[in-house]
């Protein structure tokens, strides 16, 4: 426990925050930001990885620019043992189209997101899943995601966020070549991979890789690089609220409120369920309630009602869930 507390002191939190904003930052660059040496930062990162507080580093890829759209699926299960549920979850996680998967508590038991080219491709997938698992699925919900915006985890350093974050899912398709696709696939779940290693994997030079990364960033195919942080080590849990609106007159104000709030990490716009989604991190249910009360009080007359879920465990997150 002492070792754990050492790694997540104020410097551990600052390192996590910088990696969450840009996982490709070098130890030297992070050291300059937090006024510590490269060796200090390297040591802390390795310890955070060893303790599994840092599990991996993902490249935020706007899949809509590659011609895909995101669909999120919720299942309420019944007539199923724990072993059968584990088998079902592992089966879904293995699907190449699935880019996010989480077990939850509340009205639903599991939720996951997948990337598909069109509704017919999704129907083929859905038909296969229902044929295999219908007997275990008591209820389901299918939602199309149009905008998924993610903010830095400013609660790590106890400050308001002031950065726009990343947004995926709201762009028109652009043409990219096979080299860029290979590059994205390699970077998708290894965002800190050095240029030299990437160049060796792609059989080219580091300068060529650097140029292609810059082009993908300029075209906003690559939106950013994030660290996967297990916030449970810090005593936080993931909550998600689904809001219905009476009107959208103050929508931009609500979005700005969410951007600045240190506990709010995502906002989503969807078709097929509720008007607005807020994903946040709180240390307990009382803190979650206090944040939602603050939102309802600040936006009185706009918010009709909300429902929520609590995440048990995120089991998959990758922004390149296709071949």
The answer to whether residues 298 and 155 belong to one domain is: yes
- On whether residue 5 sits in a domain, the answer given is yes
Query: Can you give the CATH number for the domain in which 44 is found?
Result: 1.10.10
Distances (CA, A) of 101 to 263, 306, 317: 21, 22, 7
| Domain around 296 | 147-169+230-312
The answer to whether residues 261 and 153 belong to one domain is: yes
Backbone angles phi, psi at 194, to 5 degrees: -65, 155
In angstroms, how far is CA 72 from the centroid of its own chain? 13
- On whether residue 217 sits in a domain, the answer given is no
The answer to whether residues 161 and 290 belong to one domain is: yes
* 8 Å CB contact between 16 and 44: no
- On whether residue 306 sits in a domain, the answer given is yes
The answer to whether residues 162 and 269 belong to one domain is: yes
Backbone angles phi, psi at 139, to 5 degrees: -150, 155
What was the pLDDT predicted at 7?
63
The answer to whether residues 164 and 307 belong to one domain is: yes
Residue 10 has which token pair? 């104020």
Query: Can you give the CATH number for the domain in which 260 is found?
Result: 3.30.70.920
- On whether residue 213 sits in a domain, the answer given is no
The answer to whether residues 264 and 151 belong to one domain is: yes
What was the pLDDT predicted at 6?
58
Give the number of other CB atoms < 10 A from CB of residue 159. Answer: 11
CA distance 136 to 88: 9
- List per-block mean pLDDT (blocks of 10 residues) for the chain, which spans 323 residues: 66 95 96 96 94 92 90 94 94 89 90 89 90 94 92 94 88 90 93 95 96 96 94 91 95 96 95 92 96 96 94 84 63
The answer to whether residues 162 and 271 belong to one domain is: yes
What was the pLDDT predicted at 322?
65
What was the pLDDT predicted at 3?
57
Which residue in 165, 198, 203 sits closest to 184, CA to CA?
Answer: 198
Distances (CA, A) of 134 to 79, 107, 112, 127, 293: 11, 18, 16, 10, 38
- On whether residue 245 sits in a domain, the answer given is yes
The answer to whether residues 44 and 155 belong to one domain is: no
What was the pLDDT predicted at 238?
93
The answer to whether residues 261 and 155 belong to one domain is: yes
- On whether residue 80 sits in a domain, the answer given is no
The string over 92-120, giving b where at least 16 C-beta atoms fall within 10 Å of a residue's C-beta and e elsewhere, is beebebbbbbbbbeeebbbbbbbbbeeee
Q: Of 14, 30, 51, at which residue does a domain stop?
A: 51
What was the pLDDT predicted at 314?
86
The answer to whether residues 43 and 160 belong to one domain is: no
How many structural domains is the chain composed of? 2
Helix, strand or coil, per DSSP, at residue 266: strand
- On whether residue 3 sits in a domain, the answer given is yes
CA dihedral 285, 109, 143, 63 (to 10 degrees): 90
CA distance 24 to 210: 12
- On whether residue 286 sits in a domain, the answer given is yes
């Amino acid at each position: 426990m002492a070792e754990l507390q050492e790694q997540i002191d104020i410097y551990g939190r600052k390192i996590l925050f910088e990696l969450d904003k840009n996982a490709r930052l070098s130890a030297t660059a992070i050291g300059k930001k937090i006024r510590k040496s490269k060796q200090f930062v390297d040591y802390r990162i390795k310890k955070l990885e060893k303790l599994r507080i840092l599990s991996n580093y993902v490249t935020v890829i706007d899949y809509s620019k590659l011609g895909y759209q995101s669909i999120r699926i919720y299942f309420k299960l019944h007539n199923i043992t724990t072993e059968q549920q584990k088998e079902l979850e592992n089966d879904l996680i293995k699907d190449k189209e699935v880019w996010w998967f989480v077990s939850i508590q509340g009205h639903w038991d599991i939720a996951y997101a997948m990337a598909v080219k069109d509704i017919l491709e999704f129907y083929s997938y859905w038909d296969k899943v229902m044929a295999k698992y219908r007997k275990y699925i008591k209820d389901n919900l299918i939602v199309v995601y149009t905008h998924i915006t993610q903010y830095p985890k400013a609660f790590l350093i106890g400050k308001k966020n002031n950065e726009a974050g990343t947004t995926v899912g709201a762009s028109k398709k652009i043409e990219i070549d096979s080299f860029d696709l290979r590059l994205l696939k390699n970077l998708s779940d290894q965002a800190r991979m050095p240029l030299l290693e990437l160049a060796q994997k792609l059989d080219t030079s580091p300068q060529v890789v650097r140029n292609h990364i810059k082009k993908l960033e300029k075209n906003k195919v690559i939106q950013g690089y994030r660290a996967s942080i297990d916030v449970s080590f810090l005593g936080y849990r993931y909550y998600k609220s689904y809001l219905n609106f009476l009107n959208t007159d103050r929508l931009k104000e609500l979005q700005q409120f969410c951007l600045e709030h240190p506990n709010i990490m995502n906002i989503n716009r969807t078709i097929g369920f509720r008007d607005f989604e807020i994903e946040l991190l709180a240390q307990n249910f009382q803190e979650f309630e206090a944040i939602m009360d603050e939102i309802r009080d600040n936006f009185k007359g706009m918010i009709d009602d909300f429902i929520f879920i609590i995440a048990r465990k995120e089991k998959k997150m990758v922004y390149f869930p296709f071949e």
